[in-house]
Structure 1
């Protein structure tokens, strides 16, 4: 496989997933920006949406090729498989977001216990859970779409949705 065909394959496989998550994160972060505007807090959603979409899309594509990503596909309903994947990926999202908050708090305090208490006292869990819920909804939409797409045949659902009657 040549360099050009590898790049084309990556763009096709990861690019569309990235666009989906960029769209979802863009909506969530724009809503967040609009809510924070009432308190006159500046917030830039575009870069966070783009970076988050690139990371999440690559992780979703890679994990979709592992046993953990396809465990329920063959023997369970589409909804159960999508729910399983959403719960697994959302749990991982929670751990990553919590670790990020802990890392920043640890850099300030230098002690793990103090970092945990700082995260706990600042009520960062509410923000973490809000992010996990939003990202989890994006995951659920993606996994349902991919499951329906696989069952109907590659490209069938896209043609149904985007072609005129």
Structure 2
């Protein structure tokens, strides 16, 4: 019985990770296409893969916390919007924290705000934030549909095919 639960959760984490990999890959391709006009090479597949793995695991674990129960009582649009805003804020906050720690370990602390929030950096954070928000909205929309239409329609078929 526990083996089935582990198998089910691994498939769920895999699907979440795959979704975020596709989202991050699309964003990376758009970024690469935009940078071509300036003749700037950009390679971000490793970041895309690691980001998707981390995001898939974190989203899966946080969604299992009981704090999400009160959100499920709200109207669907509010639930989806609030979850997307919270996750986007957390993701951007962690990104800023990571860049801050990296900067303090490698550079002089006096230039931190300019390095992190310079002219073009704010636009980049904003672009990433908007894209992440849209990824989370789509993710939680489909999660809501899955919860209300029922997992029996597709998830059980997936489990039976592997047996």
TM-score (norm 2): 0.83
Corresponding position of 1:95:
93
Q: Distance in 1 between matches of 2:118 and 2:96?
A: 14
Listed as ranges, the gaps of 5+ residues in structure 1 are 160-165
- Shift, 1:131, TM fit: 1.0
- Indicate if the aligned counterparts of 1:149 and 1:156 stay in contact, CA closer than 8 A: no
CA distance 1:150–1:7, change in 2 (3 Å): closer
Between 92-101 and 7-16, report the one with greater CA deviation: 7-16
Q: 1:118 aligns with which of 81, 103, 115?
A: 115
Give the secondary-structure state (helix, strand or coil) at the position aligned to 2:71.
coil
- Shift, 1:27, TM fit: 0.7
Between 122-131 and 32-41, report the one with greater CA deviation: 122-131
- Shift, 1:128, TM fit: 1.4
Corresponding position of 1:85:
83
The structure, 1 or 2, with the larger RCO (C-alpha pairs under 8 Å, 6+ apart) is 2
Listed as ranges, the gaps of 5+ residues in structure 2 are 157-163
1:7-156 correspondence runs (5 A)? 8-73=7-72, 75-111=73-109, 113-121=110-118, 123-156=120-153
Structure with greater helix percent = 2
How many residues get paired? 156
Runs of 4+ in 1 over 3 A off after TM superposition: 4-7, 155-159
